[in-house]
């Protein structure tokens, strides 16, 4: 054993290698072997890549600046913080707005009544909301279809049986499904709020067809949906003053939740992840500083026995 350690120490395997100086590091570079043609080729590729990226960015900015619609301003939403949750009282009021106003034209086919439980309604309240609708079900044992009260597993009812009926009732315009409308529109809830509160008289030079209205936040300015939110158009159950801006704010928050049902859970996971990673980082630093450092810095010496 002593002889083996002696050979290892003699071969300098346990000694640290000296750091490379600048000249040695330069000698390791492969770019010195490139020809002038290769250098010019890579320089040209880099310049073209940067130029194409700058051109794409410039074109995108110019298209946005030259658009016919007004970009919605950024609103101070209570849920816009990194760890801020949705205002669930506002979500509940937004459901009232959708139920009493928006559902007359817009469907929400991907949201079921069971999704309301624990978010804006209790289980009993969600069951009562579901029981208020009539669902065509079947066939039964006799092969016939029948109507029954809604259940928690049922989805929100559609106002029209098909797209053709929806277009016929709205001058050819098809009211989009609102389940994921916030995620599907640039600007998100800011766009929804601005659109609902942004109706004005058409300026000079803007021609509107029959059944169209002017809204600068809608692409082109001409929208087939009339203004539907006015002061006191509905009454809130909790007594909140139903101003037009309050109605738009609440339904925008509700649509934010329908587009991102995992919103609050995702932010809770962020808090848990940051807390767990903080603990693990402290533990790793302790192990590195007080445990592993002694192993990394130890030295092995061979001391032969004296005769």
| Beta carbons within 8 Å of 114's beta carbon, 6+ residues apart | 126, 152, 153
* Preceding peptide of 293 cis, ω within 30°: no
Q: What is the mean pLDDT of residues 148-176?
A: 94
Average pLDDT of the chain is: 87
Q: What is the pLDDT of residues 101-151, one digit of tens each?
A: 999 999 999 999 999 999 999 999 999 999 999 999 988 888 889 999 999
Q: What is the mean pLDDT of residues 294-304?
A: 80
Res. 58 pLDDT band, cuts 50 70 90 = confident
Taking alpha carbons only, the member of 210, 206, 230, 232 closest to residue 218 is 206
Q: What is the pLDDT of residue 138?
A: 86
Q: What is the pLDDT of residues 5-47, one digit of tens each?
A: 455 445 444 444 454 455 555 565 566 677 888 888 888 999 9
Q: What is the pLDDT of residue 28?
A: 58
Report the binding-site residues for heme c: 102, 105-106, 225
Q: What is the pLDDT of residue 290?
A: 82
Report the binding-site residues: 102, 105-106, 225
Q: Measured between alpha carbons, how far is residue 157 from residues 54, 182, 259 in Å? A: 48, 20, 18
In angstroms, rounded to a whole number, what is the distance separating the alpha carbons of residues 273 and 279?
10
In angstroms, rounded to a whole number, what is the distance separating the alpha carbons of residues 302 and 14?
12
Percent of the chain with pLDDT over 90: 63
Res. 64 pLDDT band, cuts 50 70 90 = low
In angstroms, rounded to a whole number, what is the distance separating the alpha carbons of residues 146 and 137?
5
In angstroms, rounded to a whole number, what is the distance separating the alpha carbons of residues 130 and 113?
6
| Cα dihedral across residues 71, 76, 82, 84: positive or negative | negative
In angstroms, rounded to a whole number, what is the distance separating the alpha carbons of residues 199 and 116?
31
Percent of the chain with pLDDT over 70: 86
With beta carbons less than 8 A apart as the criterion, state whether 147 and 135 touch: yes
Q: What is the pLDDT of residue 14?
A: 45
């Amino acid at each position: 054993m002593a002889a083996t350690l002696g050979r290892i120490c003699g071969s300098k395997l346990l000694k640290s290698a000296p750091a490379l100086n600048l000249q040695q590091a330069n000698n390791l570079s492969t770019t010195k072997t490139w020809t002038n043609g290769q250098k010019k080729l890579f320089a040209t590729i880099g310049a073209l890549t940067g130029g194409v990226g700058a051109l794409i960015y410039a074109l995108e900015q110019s298209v946005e600046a030259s658009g016919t619609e007004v970009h919605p301003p950024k609103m101070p939403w209570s849920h816009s913080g990194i760890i801020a949750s949705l205002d669930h009282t506002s979500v509940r009021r937004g459901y009232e707005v959708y139920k009493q106003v928006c559902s007359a034209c817009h469907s929400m086919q991907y949201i079921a009544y069971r999704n309301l439980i624990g978010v804006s309604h209790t289980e009993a309240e969600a069951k009562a909301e579901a029981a208020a609708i009539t669902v065509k079900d079947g066939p039964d044992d006799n092969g016939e279809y029948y109507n029954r009260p809604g259940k928690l597993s049922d989805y929100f009812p559609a106002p029209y049986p098909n797209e053709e009926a929806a277009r016929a009732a709205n001058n050819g315009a098809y009211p989009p499904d609102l389940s994921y409308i916030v995620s599907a529109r640039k600007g998100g809830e800011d766009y929804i709020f601005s659109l609902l509160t942004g109706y004005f008289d058409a300026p000079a030079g803007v021609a509107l067809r029959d059944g169209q209205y002017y809204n600068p936040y809608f692409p082109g300015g001409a929208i087939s949906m009339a203004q539907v939110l006015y002061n006191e158009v509905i009454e809130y159950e909790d007594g909140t003053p139903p101003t037009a801006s309050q109605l738009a704010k609440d339904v925008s928050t509700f649509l934010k939740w329908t587009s991102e049902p995992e919103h609050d859970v995702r932010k809770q996971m962020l808090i848990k992840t940051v807390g767990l990673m903080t603990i693990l980082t402290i533990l790793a630093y302790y192990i590195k500083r007080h445990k592993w450092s002694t192993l990394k810095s130890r030295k092995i010496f061979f001391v032969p026995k004296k005769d």
